């Protein structure tokens, strides 16, 4: 069974996969190399290859807007009284005892 001629033409326009081509075809991820490997297993970054993005200086009259609104208030944390914040082991143990009972 073979596909019809119009369907076959449509299939040819799709991007190739590695299963459709003989050996030696490597699609890659589009990331590119940022440096080179050393013979000792390290990696040296070549800063001429690193991508840098330059932000325009005057963004006040810029027509495009970000996806996040600029008027959003910052959220308050849940750990305002605890100096260690969410990383406090005491807070974790208290919650564990409340939910699972004492051993």
52-94 confidence digits (pLDDT tens) = 888 878 877 777 776 777 777 777 666 666 777 777 788 788 8
Q: Give the tens place of pLDDT for each residue, 15-33.
A: 777 777 777 777 778 788 8
Phi, psi of 94 (to 5 degrees): -60, -45
- The gap from C-alpha 40 to its chain's centroid, in whole angstroms, comes to 29
Check if the beta carbon of residue 37 is closer than 8 Å to that of residue 43. yes
């Amino acid at each position: 069974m073979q596909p019809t001629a119009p369907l076959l033409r449509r299939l040819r326009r799709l991007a190739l996969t590695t299963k459709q081509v003989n050996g030696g075809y490597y699609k890659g991820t589009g990331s590119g190399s940022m440096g080179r490997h050393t013979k000792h297993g390290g990696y040296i970054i070549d800063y001429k290859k690193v991508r840098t993005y330059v932000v325009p200086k005057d963004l006040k009259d810029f027509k495009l807007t970000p996806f996040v609104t600029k008027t959003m208030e910052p959220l308050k944390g849940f750990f305002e009284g605890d100096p260690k914040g969410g990383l406090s082991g005491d807070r974790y143990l208290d919650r564990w005892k409340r939910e699972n009972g004492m051993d």
